[in-house]
Amino acid sequence: MEILEIMGVPYFKKGSGIHIKKKNRGKFTEYCGGKVTDECIKRAKKSKNPKLRKRATFAANARKWKHADGGQLVPKHQNPAGGITLVGKDRRKGLKERVKAWWNDLPTDYSDGMCAIDSQGNPTGNCSKYSNDVLRKQGYKAIGDAWTRVPFSGAKVLYTGYDRNLPKEYSDSSYWAYLNGVADKVATQIDSNTLQDYDIVSLMAQGSNATQEAYSEGKKHGRIHTHTGHIRIGDDGIPYVIHNVHNRLYQNKLTDLLGSGKPFSVVEIARPKK
């Protein structure tokens, strides 16, 4: 998937990533003169053009969602160390190989200004693909989607809010009610001092469009969440969750993701196998 300017609406969802029609990519950013500002959003909301008003509304909502998450939205699709730009129009010959080499040389899997790419140097909006690639790079067994990677990888469950009382049939109300309970339950169990780098973190993601797929494929494995990431212990000794959201890497304090009622909530933590 090409890396997209998220302000270039209209857009449509497919799988776990946001896809924007080619003809509309970056139009709102262009309208704002290259940088989306609060002043530009306010001006566009007053426009007589309905499409422009729609783009302005989405831009405003996207900003609110970013801040509510409490995490860091990577500002530019770029390798800060090597200056490799990954925006579609600049994907010149040899870029993929350079990005792959850069990815393999990274001492960590998160850097300010870094977009989410897989081990082949391709941009990816798939949370499990990105995290699995990072763990495999470290020698761990890591396969499966968000809802299957723990059982498929043979990871040892450290903390979980799951029980055997999964909803017998899918409905939005039963799905979210159950996972909110799971998130609240596991939040009381976790001792941050027991965690280590690359522990697998399973999360519920509010507003996910993959809930029915997760329920259908994951219920036999006892897991129906739609999002995932992994732990990195910061220089401050605090465990952070690194996770891929629509091609952008977020770094959240684990404690900020505990309990229900948040954009992302932890439901399980497991230790991968070598």
* Residues 134 and 198 sit within 8 Å (Cβ to Cβ): yes
Q: Are residues 132 and 267 in the same domain?
A: yes
More confidently predicted of 169 and 118: 169
Whether 51 maps to a domain, the answer reads yes
pLDDT at 223 exceeding the cut of 80: yes
Distances in Å between the Cα of 55 and the Cα atoms of 18, 40, 121 are 15, 11, 31
* Residues 263 and 206 sit within 8 Å (Cβ to Cβ): yes
pLDDT category of residue 62 using cuts at 50, 70 and 90? low
pLDDT category of residue 235 using cuts at 50, 70 and 90? confident
Q: For residue 27, what are the domain limits?
A: 11-66
Q: Classify 250 in phi/psi space as left (phi over 0), alpha (psi -120 to 50) or beta.
A: beta
Whether 260 maps to a domain, the answer reads yes
3-state class (DSSP) for residue 264: strand
Q: Are residues 134 and 252 in the same domain?
A: yes
Whether 22 maps to a domain, the answer reads yes
For residue 138, the number of C-alpha atoms closer than 13 Å in the C-beta half-sphere is 21
- Mind listing the pLDDT tens digit for each residue in 176-185? 999 999 999 9
Average pLDDT over residues 6-31: 50
Domain-terminating residue out of 66, 86, 105: 66
Whether 92 maps to a domain, the answer reads no
pLDDT category of residue 66 using cuts at 50, 70 and 90? very low
What is the distance between the alpha carbons of residues 50 and 3, in angstroms, rounded to a whole number? 26
Q: Are residues 245 and 134 in the same domain?
A: yes
Q: Are residues 131 and 230 in the same domain?
A: yes
Whether 37 maps to a domain, the answer reads yes
- Mind listing the pLDDT tens digit for each residue in 115-153? 566 666 666 678 998 899 889 989 999 999 999 999 999
What is the distance between the alpha carbons of residues 159 and 187, in angstroms, rounded to a whole number? 9
With a threshold of 0.85, does the pTM exceed it?
no
Instruction: Count the domains in the chain.
Output: 2
User: What's the pLDDT score for residue 48?
Assistant: 87
* Residues 4 and 25 sit within 8 Å (Cβ to Cβ): yes
Distances in Å between the Cα of 191 and the Cα atoms of 121, 154, 158, 258, 272 are 35, 22, 10, 12, 18
Q: Are residues 32 and 157 in the same domain?
A: no
